[in-house]
Amino acid sequence: MANTILVNMNRCTGCWTCSMACKSAHHLDVKEFWQYVRTIGGGEIDQPGGEWPNLYMKWMPIWKQKCAKCSGDASTYGKPYCVYNCPAGALTYGNADDPQSELSKRKQELLDKGFRVYEIPEWEETREGILYAENSI
Amino acid sequence: MPSEEKVTYNLCQGWGCHEHCLVETHVKDGKIDRVQKCLFPGKRPANDICMKGILSAKIPYAKDRILHPLKRVGERGEGKFEQISWDQALDEISAKITEAAEKYGSRSIILNQFWCGYPGDWKSTHNDLIYRLAFAYDASILEYQAVDYGLTFGTAVVNGLFTVNSRRLPEDVGKEIIIWGGNPLGFTRPAASTHFLLDAQERGVKLVHISNLFDVTSARADQWVPVKSGTDGALALGMCSVVIEEGLYDAEFLLDKTSAAYLVNTETGAYARAAELIEGAGEGDFVAADKDGNLGVVAHPMGQPFAGYGDLTPDLFATIEANGAVYKTSMQLLREFCQEWTPEHQETVTGVPAETCRQVAREYIANSPAIIYLYYGLRYPNAVQSNRAILTLALLAGNVGRKGGTIMLAGQGDQTTMYGMDQNVIRFPREVRGMSDRVTIETILESFENPDVQQYKVWLNCMGNPLLNWPNKDMWRRRILPNIDLFVSWEIRMTDTARYADYVLPETTTFERYETVCDTDNCVMYCEPAIEPLGEAKSTAWIFSEIAKRIGVGSEFDLTAEEWQRVRIDEGMKGKNAIVFDDGQNPIGTEPITYDTLKKKKVMRVDIPPMIPEDGLSMDAHTTTTGRFEFYNELLNGIGHPFGDFEPIDILDDERRAEYPLQFYVGRHKYFMQGQFTNIAENHLLAEKQFGVALNPVEAKKRGMVDGEIVNVVNSRGTMRVPLQLRDDIPMGMAHTWYSFDEKHYPNTCCPQDLMHAENTPERETAVMRTYYPAYAYVNINVLGTPQVMTHVAGPYTPEGLWNQLCDVRKITSDGKEA
C-alpha cells in the first residue's frame, strides 16, 4: 500500500504531536480527532498500569478510518503532517509494496533487530495501512 | 481569488521548556493557518516541535487574548478592568514612575525580567531592553525566585564554574545514560531531547532513570530506579561507597583532573598549602604524598594546564603526620566519609534496595564512558549537596569531561548566545545612569517595614507570571501588592498576574513581532511577524520607547523593533561567520553573518570553534581552591559539609510528617508548560481529568476515599478543595498536584501556590548557601566581571525548594466539613 505508516512503538512517548499536527493542518474542531494516542496502562491518558513500583505504560497512536490519508504538502516533503512533525522519530511513511522505500527499509531494519510487526485487526475499524513495530516493551 | 500565503519563522510561544524551538508558521490571508516543524541548515534532525509548538498557532487568537490597554477598576485580583487608550495608559504609568522616582529614588522602580517561559528568554530583545531601561534610569531589577539553581551551585562548588555540556555529546559514543531526576523524554522538554535520547537508546545505549515518580522517561527507560523524594544524595553516596570499596574508581582520572590526592590538614579542614609542609614551597601550592610518606609540591595550575606531580608517585589514600597534625588526602577522607553510606544504609533512607544500588553503580562503571544527565529534577533545599554527591560519583568514575562520559545538564540549546551574540550592544545604553541593583523578595519585604531603607513602589512586570508560577500566592496578595503603588503587567492574555495588575499592557505574541535569537543548536534565527498585531497589541520595543520618552530617557530607545534586530546582528555578531551548506546539507564554506543575509536565509548555523571541546567541558578554568575538580570543599568543611552529602529536609522529618503526612508535590504539566497553554482548548481536553490532587490508591484507602470524590488538601498555609484521582504512579506519602491551572479553576478555595512556602525569604536560607554564596558571588562579579545586576540568585537562599512542603488530604463529610 502506497501511503503506509510504520509506528516504532519503542520510540513513541505519547506526546500527541502527531494528533495535534493532524488537527491543525486539517482544521478539525476541538473535539474532532482523525488520529489520537492511546495510553496502554491504567486507562486514562498517561496513567500507568500496575502497582507501585511495578508499573508499565506505553502509547499507541491510532489512525481512525476518517484519516484523510494525506501526504502533507511540499513543505512537509510529501509526508503526512502527523509523520513529519513527530519529535520522537517514531513514524515512517512510504510505500509498503516498494522494497526500496524508506518505510520498507525501516521495517526490515526493525525486523532484523527482533521487532514484531503487526496491524490492528480490521474489526477495530481503524485506518488500514498502519504497521506497528514493537520489541520488548 | 487565490488566497495569499506566506511562511515565516517564529519562536515557539512556549520556550519555557528550554528546548528553544523555532517553528515554521504558515499564514493564509493574514491569519495563521498552522505551525509546523522547521528544519535547520546542516545535519538532521536539528530542531523539533511538540504538541505545544503545534498549538502555539492558536495563542494569538485565544479567547482571553488582551487586545487593548486595560486599567483596573475593581480590587486587585478581582479581574475588573476598563479599556483605555495607549496614551492614557502610558501617560498615567509614566507619571507614577516619575513621581515614585522623585520621592523614593529611581531604584524604587522594580523591573521583573524573570524570563523563563518568555519566547527568546534572556536572549530576547525584550530582555535586553529591560536591562537598557534599568541602566538608563538606574531602576532595580528583581531577583526572581530561587529555582533550578541547585545544579548551578552544585557544579560551582565542585568545578568553580557552571559546567555546560552539549546535549549532542551522546551522539556517537557512550554505553549508558543515567537520567537523574526530571523527565526529559516526556513532560518538560519533549522535543529535541526526546529525539536524541531515543536515538542513543536505539543504538544500544542503556537508559537508566532515577526518579521519585513514574513518568514518560521511567516508562521508556531500560531501568527505572524509584527513589524517595529528596534522598538522591544518599543514593549517590551509596553508589560512591560501592565504587570506592570495590576499587572501581578511575585512579588516573582522579590524579589527573581532581584534587583527590591533595593532602588536607585534618585539624583545620583546609587543603595543606605547600609552604605549611615543605620548606621554601609556595603559599598558593598544594601537597601530595607517596606510599612511603614522601611529600611533593603540586603547583596551582593558575588557569594553565595541570603540571603534574613532578617525581612523586602520589598515593590517593596517603595519611601522614607532620607538625603535630594528621594530614590525609581528600580521597582518603571521602572513603572514610562514605563508609557510613553502605548500600544497606542508603536503602534505609532512599528505599532503593542495596542490591540495586550496587548493580547501578557497577554498571555505571562497566558501561563507561557513561553520562549522568541532570535535569533540574531535584527541587529540594538539599539539591546543592545532592548534586555535589552525584558529581562526586561521576568524578570517581572518571566520567566527567570525556566524550560520551560526562555530566550533562538540561538541554538549553547549545548556549550559543554566550559566545555567539554580544547582547551588551543593546543592554548598555549610551549613557549609563547607574548600574542598578538586583533586589530580592526579602529585601522588598523588609523595606515595607523600614522606612529608612530604599523603598520599592513601582513594579513593572515586563516578563513572567509570578502570581501563577511563583509560590507563595498569599505573600503576593497580603504582603507585596498592598505595599506597591503601581503594578503594571506586560501580557498577551488574562493571566493570574494580569488579574492583579493596575494596568495591563497588551503585548505582541511571538507571531506578531520581530526577533533574532542566537541559540538552538548553534544557529542564529531571524523571526519576522507572521501576522499583523491583533487589536492594539504592541511590541515591547515600542512600549519601552514610549515609556522612556515620557520619563526622560527616550533618546536611548530611539529604534523600532526591527531596527533593534539589525543592531543585535550587525553589531552583536560582528565578525562572526556562518557555515554554508549545499542542497545535501553538506558544509561547503562560510560566509559573514549580517542582518541582510540572515533576513534572507532565516536561519544560519554559526561557524564557531566547538565551544564544547572533545573533553566535553565548556568551561574548564576551575576557580576552585585548588584549581582542580574538588569533591572536597574546605570552605564548606567549616560548616560540616566537606563533601556532597544527604541533608535532612522538611518532607523527611518524622515530627513534621506526624501532622502533615504527605509530601505536597507540585508538578509542571506536560501540556501546559509554565502556564502559557492553559487557555488552549485542546490542551485542556487532554489534561482536564488530571485537575485536582492525586494519591496512590493505598493512601486513599487509608483515608476511606474513592476516585473522583472532592477532598480537602490541607497544610498550615491553607486548604485546597479539589477532586481526587487515584494513580498508581504516585508513590506512597505524596499528594501530587499541578501548578499550571489558572486561579479561576479554584473558585472559593486555595490554589496549589497558596499551600507552598515563599522563596527568597529568610526562612529559605540554608547553611550551605550562607557559606557558599559569597564565594560564588565573588567569582561571578570580581573574577568574571559579571555586573551584580546580571548574576542570578542574589542571596543565600536555597536555590531549590519547590517540592519541600507537606500536607494532608482529608475527607469531607456531607455537611462540607472535614471528617
CATH number assigned to the domain comprising residue A42? 3.30.70.20
* B50 neighbourhood in chain A, CB within 8 Å: 15, 17, 87
Taking Cα atoms as reference points, which of A122, A74, A19 lies closest to residue B683?
A19
pLDDT at B785: 81
pLDDT tens digits along B306-350? 899 999 999 999 999 999 999 999 999 999 999 999 999 999 999
Burial status of residue B691 (CB atoms within 10 A of its CB: 0-12, 13-18, 19 or more): middle
Average pLDDT, chain A: 96
Greater pLDDT, A70 or B197: A70
pLDDT tens digits along B642-668? 999 999 999 999 999 999 999 999 998
Whether the CB of A33 is below 8 Å from some CB of chain B: the reply is no
pLDDT at B58: 96
Domains contained in chain A, number:
1
Per the DSSP assignment, residues forming a β-bridge with B460 are: B111, B488
Confidence of residue B189 (pLDDT cuts 50, 70, 90): low
CA distance B612 to chain A (A): 25
Question: Poorest-confidence range of A63-72, B42-51, B72-81, B798-807?
Answer: B42-51
Q: Is the pLDDT of residue B618 over 50?
A: no
Burial status of residue B782 (CB atoms within 10 A of its CB: 0-12, 13-18, 19 or more): exposed
Whether the CB of A29 is below 8 Å from some CB of chain B: the reply is no
Greater pLDDT, B359 or B611: B359
Residue of chain A minimizing CA distance to B55 = A20
- Cell numbers 488500514 correspond to A128
Stretch B732-761: mean pLDDT, rounded?
Answer: 92
For B577, phi then psi, to 5°, come to: -115, 160
pLDDT tens digits along B523-535? 899 999 999 999 9
Whether the CB of B685 is below 8 Å from some CB of chain A: the reply is yes
Interface A-B: count of C-beta contacts within 8 A: 127
Confidence of residue B497 (pLDDT cuts 50, 70, 90): very high
B11 near B37, Cβ under 8 Å? Answer: no
Residue of chain B minimizing CA distance to A30 = B682
pLDDT at B619: 46
Q: How far is CA B431 from CA B143, B462, B474, B556, in A?
A: 24, 22, 40, 8
A30 near B682, Cβ under 8 Å? Answer: yes
The β-bridge relationship of strands B710-715 and B718-726 is antiparallel
Top-ranked range on mean pLDDT: pick from A105-119, B174-188, B393-407: A105-119
CA distance B719 to chain A (A): 26
**Distance from the Cα of residue A87 to its chain's centroid:** 12
- Cell numbers 527513589 correspond to B227
Of B36, B53, B730, the CB nearest to A84: B36
Question: Poorest-confidence range of A73-87, B191-205, B363-377?
Answer: B191-205
Q: Is the pLDDT of residue B791 over 80?
A: no
Could B186 and A15 be called an inter-chain contact, meaning their C-beta atoms sit closer than 8 Å? yes
Confidence of residue B149 (pLDDT cuts 50, 70, 90): confident
pLDDT at B624: 87
pLDDT at B621: 56
Q: How far is CA B200 from CA A89, B207, B520, in A?
A: 12, 8, 20
Of B36, B195, B731, the CB nearest to A88: B195
pLDDT at B192: 72
- Cell numbers 574538588 correspond to B630
Q: What is the largest CA-CA distance in chain A?
A: 47
Could A13 and B681 be called an inter-chain contact, meaning their C-beta atoms sit closer than 8 Å? no
Could A20 and B727 be called an inter-chain contact, meaning their C-beta atoms sit closer than 8 Å? no
Stretch B158-180: mean pLDDT, rounded?
Answer: 71
Q: Is the pLDDT of residue B411 over 60?
A: no
* B727 neighbourhood in chain A, CB within 8 Å: 42, 47
Question: Domains in chain B, please, with CATH?
Answer: 1-146+442-608 (3.40.50.740), 150-247+338-408 (3.40.228.10), 259-337 (no CATH), 650-760+803-811 (2.40.40.20)
Q: CA geometry: angle at B195 spanning B194 and B197, to 5°?
A: 65
Top-ranked range on mean pLDDT: pick from B153-157, B267-271, B403-407, B675-679: B267-271
Whether the CB of A78 is below 8 Å from some CB of chain B: the reply is no
Does residue A53 have a cis peptide bond before it, meaning omega lies within 30 degrees of 0?
yes
pLDDT at B243: 98
Q: Is the pLDDT of residue B18 over 80?
A: no
Could A45 and B696 be called an inter-chain contact, meaning their C-beta atoms sit closer than 8 Å? no
Domain encompassing residue A23: 4-134
pLDDT more than 90, % of chain A? 97
Q: What b/e string do you get for B480-492 counting C-beta neighbours within 10 Å, with b at 16 or more?
A: bbebbbbbbbbbb
Would you give the DSSP letter of residue B100?
H
CA distance A101 to chain B (A): 19
Whether the CB of A53 is below 8 Å from some CB of chain B: the reply is yes
Taking Cα atoms as reference points, which of A55, A65, A54, A68 lies closest to residue A22?
A68
Whether the CB of A44 is below 8 Å from some CB of chain B: the reply is yes
* B36 neighbourhood in chain A, CB within 8 Å: 21, 24-25, 75-76, 81, 84-85
pLDDT at B413: 44
Distance separating alpha carbons of residues B632 and B166, to the nearest angstrom? 26
Angle between the N-to-C axes of helices B150-159 and B383-397, in degrees from 0 to 180, rounded to the nearest 10? 50
Stretch B695-705: mean pLDDT, rounded?
Answer: 97
Distance separating alpha carbons of residues B172 and B614, to the nearest angstrom? 12
pLDDT tens digits along B245-263? 999 999 999 999 899 999 9
pLDDT more than 90, % of chain B? 70
B598 near B604, Cβ under 8 Å? Answer: yes
A-proximal residues of B, 160-189, CB under 8 Å: 185-186
Taking Cα atoms as reference points, which of B641, B734, B644, B727 lies closest to residue B691?
B727
Question: Is the ipTM here above 0.90?
Answer: yes
Q: Is the pLDDT of residue B414 over 50?
A: no
Whether the CB of B384 is below 8 Å from some CB of chain A: the reply is no
**Distance from the Cα of residue B748 to its chain's centroid:** 32
Whether the CB of A36 is below 8 Å from some CB of chain B: the reply is no
B187 near B216, Cβ under 8 Å? Answer: yes
Q: Is the pLDDT of residue B516 over 60?
A: yes
Distance separating alpha carbons of residues B291 and B327, to the nearest angstrom? 13
Average pLDDT, chain B: 91
Whether the CB of A111 is below 8 Å from some CB of chain B: the reply is no
* A44 neighbourhood in chain B, CB within 8 Å: 689-690
Q: Is the pLDDT of residue B732 over 60?
A: yes
Distance separating alpha carbons of residues B617 and B612, to the nearest angstrom? 6
Residue of chain A minimizing CA distance to B46 = A87
Of B50, B192, B224, the CB nearest to A15: B50
- CB B448: neighbour CB atoms within 10 A? 15
Q: Is the pLDDT of residue B171 over 80?
A: no
A-proximal residues of B, 709-768, CB under 8 Å: 727-732
Confidence of residue B17 (pLDDT cuts 50, 70, 90): confident
* A53 neighbourhood in chain B, CB within 8 Å: 214, 224, 226, 731
pLDDT at B187: 67
Q: Is the pLDDT of residue B469 over 90?
A: no
Q: How far is CA B128 from CA B428, B515, B600, in A?
A: 8, 12, 24
Stretch B170-186: mean pLDDT, rounded?
Answer: 83
* B201 neighbourhood in chain A, CB within 8 Å: 10
- CA dihedral sign of residues B170, B172, B173, B177: positive
DSSP character string of A35-57 = EEEEEESSSSTT--EEETTEEE-
Question: Poorest-confidence range of B120-124, B188-192, B541-545, B695-699?
Answer: B188-192
pLDDT tens digits along B210-249? 999 999 999 999 999 999 999 999 999 999 999 999 999 9
For B336, phi then psi, to 5°, come to: -65, -40
* Residue B95 one-letter amino acid: A
Q: Is the pLDDT of residue A38 over 70?
A: yes
Residue of chain B minimizing CA distance to A137 = B220
Of A53, A56, A81, the CB nearest to B219: A56
Q: Is the pLDDT of residue B410 over 70?
A: no
Of B50, B186, B681, the CB nearest to A17: B50
**Distance from the Cα of residue B440 to its chain's centroid:** 17
Confidence of residue B163 (pLDDT cuts 50, 70, 90): low
Whether the CB of B676 is below 8 Å from some CB of chain A: the reply is no
pLDDT at B520: 78
Residue of chain B minimizing CA distance to A20 = B51
* A52 neighbourhood in chain B, CB within 8 Å: 214, 226, 696, 698, 728-732
Of A11, A55, A87, the CB nearest to B214: A55
DSSP character string of B349-404 = HH---HHHHHHHHHHHHHT-SEEEEE-S---STTHHHHHHHHHHHHHHHT-SSBTT
Beta strands in chain A (DSSP E): 4-8, 35-40, 49-51, 54-56, 58-63, 91-94, 116-118, 130-134
Cell of B626: 585548588
Residue of chain A minimizing CA distance to B25 = A75
Confidence of residue B419 (pLDDT cuts 50, 70, 90): low
Best probe of the B interface among A20, A51, A84, A113, by most B CBs < 10 A, is: A20
Q: Is the pLDDT of residue B755 over 90?
A: yes
B165 near B406, Cβ under 8 Å? Answer: yes
A-proximal residues of B, 188-227, CB under 8 Å: 190-192, 194-195, 198-199, 201-202, 214, 216, 218-220, 224, 226
Taking Cα atoms as reference points, which of A134, A115, A132 lies closest to residue A124?
A132
Residue of chain A minimizing CA distance to B185 = A13
Greater pLDDT, B301 or B556: B556
In sequence order, the 6+-apart residues with CB closer than 8 A to the CB of B49 are A17, A85, A87, B12, B21, B23, B35, B36, B37, B38, B191
Could B216 and A13 be called an inter-chain contact, meaning their C-beta atoms sit closer than 8 Å? yes
A49 near A42, Cβ under 8 Å? Answer: yes
DSSP character string of B593-634 = --HHHHHHHSEEEEE---SS-TTS-S-----SSSSSB-SS-H
Burial status of residue B559 (CB atoms within 10 A of its CB: 0-12, 13-18, 19 or more): middle
Residue of chain B minimizing CA distance to A49 = B728
